[in-house]
Amino acid sequence: MSERTPYTRASVSIDEDGTRIDLAFYTPDLSVMALGVGRERPFLNLSSREAQVMISTTGGGPVTEQDVILARQIADAAARYLADCERLRTDQAATPVLPGLDEVAA
């Protein structure tokens, strides 16, 4: 199988609806940290050498019910991502790619 190069992609679009920043991490070189600021609020930080995303409470203030709902959604999505990665890694390890055919499968 051909080796893929890790990368981070960022794009910015500006139009009549406002500004949108899209970030995509396609790298295993990603740092994921959960941090706290004393007793005030938590932070979730995802970063690579090229970009960083930080998630915290609404307006940087005290934790709201919506913040708790969002944290649950993030945890649920992370659990699904983990399950998919484990399943696909097992499937891919069990299905060897024949030389010369990896370009067809990609």
Rounded to whole angstroms, how far apart are CA atoms 46 and 67?
18
pTM above 0.85, yes or no: no
| CB contact at 8 A, 97 and 104 | no
User: How crowded is the C-beta side of 46, counted as CA atoms within 13 Å?
Assistant: 11
Place of tokens 């080796």: 3
List pLDDT tens digits, range 26-83.
998 999 999 987 788 999 999 998 899 999 999 989 999 999 999 999 999 999 999 9
At 35, list the tokens: 């941090």
User: How crowded is the C-beta side of 52, counted as CA atoms within 13 Å?
Assistant: 7
What is the average per-residue pLDDT within 4-25? 93
Smallest CA-to-CA distance from 24 within 5, 11, 33 is with: 11
pLDDT of res. 102? 54
Quickly state the pLDDT bin for 3 (edges 50, 70, 90). confident
CA-based end-to-end distance of the chain: 9
Smallest CA-to-CA distance from 27 within 47, 1, 53 is with: 47
What is the average per-residue pLDDT within 81-87? 96
pLDDT of res. 98? 67
pLDDT of res. 106? 47
For residue 15, pLDDT beyond 90: yes
